[in-house]
Structure 1
Amino acid sequence: MKLRAFFFWSILFSFYFQQFWISGLSTPVKPYMVLVLVLGGAVVYLNPRFRLPPYVVFVAFFFVYMIFTSLYSKEFGTAIVRGAGIIMLVVAYFTLYLSSQSISPDLFERCIYKFTIVYSTAGLVYFAYGLYVYDPDPSQRKFFGLYFEGVLPRMRSFADSPNNLVLMMLPLFYTLYVSGLKKLKLAYAFIGVSVLLSLSITGYLCFMVPLLLTFFFGGKVRFLVMVLLVLVLSFAGFWFYESNDDFAEVVNHRLDRVSSGSGRLDLFVYSFEGISKSPVWGYGLGQARFYLEGFQGRDLQSTHNSFIEVFFEGGGVAMTFLLLSWLLLILYVLQKNRGIRRVKLLSYVLSLFIISFANMMVYVELMVLNFFVLGFLASQGNRGTSQIKVEPIATINPAII
């Protein structure tokens, strides 16, 4: 039991150190890949019997089909590399799923709480250190926990981008949000500060829209309190904007980028022009980046939208598989949960849906992490109704973190 738990926590937390990879190969080798390859066989051996939720099976079918599209990809080598990455993601999910069989929901919530405090603190220190030693050389755009976008110092912590930091915060936040743990204000504060410093508009929407919906369904009083809080923060931000020139410059620069979705709206229109030429089967796995070479002379790796990219590479067939996978996930949440817990988990789904519209998330390991955590929480039903006292941070078990 202890060995299984050790495997689980090691693999789960390895997703949070995305920035530290082994370079020099055709694709970066990240910490989670190393642990999955090293521990995957042992995890399967220790958990030979298992049952998968229906939506997981359908996601697997979707990935199999996307690998099949490699057969008609013009750049076959790129398709093969992407296909190998998909296989790694599938193996990573199954490794997490199997090793989690020995983890109780209470233990999961307590450990996530402690990890949130430690990880967020370390991430903020890492970001502050990046600001302190920052070299204005353009080659240092990504520096420690720092990500510079023009004049904007955005926090990325141990992720490789601010948006990926948001993806790391989502499973931590929603685990605590649906739990029965008490005294979570410190953890929420750390998550909130991290998301705010990411300066990710997509990240803000991922948290604000679902939370407003949760408070709306949670009762009129709670909803009005939430609206009042948003208004107070908005007025405070406007006052600070008017009274501080440096802050105003940062906001203006970010708003200029947001006005066109950081250039994404033009990119989406350009992508649909390509889709219209092959709407049923698409162009094959990993081919979007080559089509985008003709877009404004920019070196783009993706369409920055999960659904558009799947439509482009796999056509309407792949889009059908993808949308059905999302639908089955929603039905699974509805079937397993009731009341406010159901609303909170549907808010989690909405958060992932929002970020998928602004970024290419289908082949990103952090999306696998989020789908695992969402599935784990959904499978527990309404058990999170009782309140559990959180142990002091000083009692963190070194074997777990």
Structure 2
Amino acid sequence: MMCALRAGQRGRSVLVVDHARAPGEKIRISGGGRCNFTNLHAGPSNYISGNRHFAKSALARYTPADFLALVGKHRIGWHEKTLGQLFCDDSAKDIIRMLIAEMQMGGVELRLQTAISSVEKSDGRFRVDLGQDVVEAQSLVVATGGKSIPKMGATGLAYRLAEQFGLAVTETRPGLVPLTLEPSLLEKLSPLSGIAVDAEARSGKTRFREALLFTHRGLSGPSILQISSYWREGEEVALTLLPEIDLLARLKQARKENGRQALQTVLAEMLPRRLAQHFGDVLNLAGPLADQSDRKLQAAAEAIQNWQLRPAGSEGYRTAEVTLGGVDVNAIDSRSMEAKAVPGLYFIGECVDVTGWLGGYNFQWAWASGHVCGEAV
């Protein structure tokens, strides 16, 4: 829609084909129905790609301030939550209505519930078979997203079209997705389901500090969704609970001030009761703090602030917010999103190998890549 409105307002004749019953369905469900439509801090460092420089051009030419100007033009109320995340005051549908209105200003035609049977190119023009109709066009823009949330109709169409025209597709996998645990570990942690705590999650050299949520399948919450995009199966995830506290110093202080209390009692002053009880049980430090040596207290602090877990996997595309990987960006011109080897063929948004962090970054990539493409088609 962003690409279409820009191209239409430039005077191009534009048709948008969507197999869904309503436009912008992923916008509608995002942000709890309020759409985290951008992030004030969006920049190349917030994106994962096989070419870390690729996103620079589009992100520089269409910024969060540019999208905010469009939001302001349509008098849509918004507010900032944490970490630069911007949401609609009222409803995500405001963003959809805004995009449709801008498309109408450019004379864009929108066809819903329309499937694509095949795409061909001959004599410099694309022929798109829509079943009961065949459309010819000078340019074809593929903006069909990734495999995430198949119940909404997500498919690998973009990847099939890329391969049809000779473009490489990098490995795809679920991103921004909850992680699952193997049955024996899950059984031990099942009493913690529903508990949320502040935590730092780490995988390799990458770390995120946000909320951690224990679920009946494993781990979720913003910190886990973020780290899931960097984690690979077989690797461990390290968790630091109480990241703002020198826990060893706090435990020693508690031992000095009231050595008769148990470790679990002290932990319950800083952690949810069930979580404190869990560590009290697994650390097996029975008796009062006065009986615990510095070595045992250090081991307890280490277990809580360098908690090493090996996830069994992820919940997959069913709940993943994005798809990592996609159409190889080295085959695409970063200034226009046009396939270098196929004039007139463009790929934008999530289907290319550019994946943002959680918090409005992927929407900003959609707006930016769509805008620069709409300027070029």
TM-score normalised by length of structure 1: 0.28
TM-score normalised by length of structure 2: 0.29
Tell which structure's C-alpha radius of gyration is larger. Answer: 2
Between structures 1 and 2, the one with greater helix share: 1
Between structures 1 and 2, the one with greater strand share: 2
